[in-house]
């Protein structure tokens, strides 16, 4: 994990489908990209950015988002998300994230993730059932 350094980045591209709209997600009534979906795309890009550099048995989990949804995107347009690792402090990773549709910037902000041991994390979560 010593290869995790500020400056790493990853871009993803997704075409907005009807199932990704605020109306379909019930987070609003309009047929535009839902804010929760935009945030999920930002989290996925951040996770995928560092995934290849993690030791076996480790993963990252999202712990904080501070996102501004700036502009609406209708179904059918492509959205490009860029996640850039800006800080590594022990197990805490800080990302700057941006989303653009084919016309303009649609969202930006920061996202925090923590590196966890996958097995221990899962066991702790499942223990809540007891």
- What is the per-residue pLDDT across 35-47, written as a single tens digit (0 to 9) for each? 999 999 999 999 9
How would you classify the pairing of strands 58-69 and 9-15? unpaired
- What is the per-residue pLDDT across 60-94, written as a single tens digit (0 to 9) for each? 999 999 999 999 999 999 999 999 999 999 999 99
Q: Return the structure tokens found at 123.
A: 């066991």
Asked if pLDDT for residue 25 goes beyond 60, the answer is: yes
Q: Residue 2's pLDDT is what?
A: 62
Other CB atoms within a 10 A radius of the CB of residue 76 amount to 10
Q: Which helix (H) or strand (E) holds 78?
A: strand 78-89
| Rounded average pLDDT over 115-125 | 97
Asked if pLDDT for residue 1 goes beyond 80, the answer is: no
Q: Which structural domains are found in the chain, ordered by start?
A: 9-129 (3.10.129.10)
Cα distance between residue 100 and residue 59, in whole Å: 27
Q: State what percent of residues in the chain have pLDDT above 90.
A: 97
Cα distance between residue 130 and residue 114, in whole Å: 25
Give residue 130's pLDDT band: very low, low, confident or very high (50, 70, 90). Answer: confident
């Amino acid at each position: 994990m010593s290869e995790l350094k500020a400056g790493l980045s990853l871009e993803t591209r997704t075409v907005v489908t009807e199932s990704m709209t605020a109306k379909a997600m019930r987070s609003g009534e309009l047929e535009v990209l839902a804010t929760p979906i935009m945030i999920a795309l930002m989290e996925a890009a951040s996770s995928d950015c560092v995934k290849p550099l993690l030791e076996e048995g480790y993963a990252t989990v999202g712990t904080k988002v501070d996102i501004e949804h700036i502009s609406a995107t209708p179904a059918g347009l492509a959205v490009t998300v860029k996640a850039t690792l800006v800080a590594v402090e022990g197990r805490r990773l800080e990302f700057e994230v941006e989303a653009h549709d084919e016309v303009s910037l649609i969202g930006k902000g920061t996202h925090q993730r923590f590196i966890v041991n996958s097995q221990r994390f899962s066991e702790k979560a499942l223990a809540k059932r007891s």
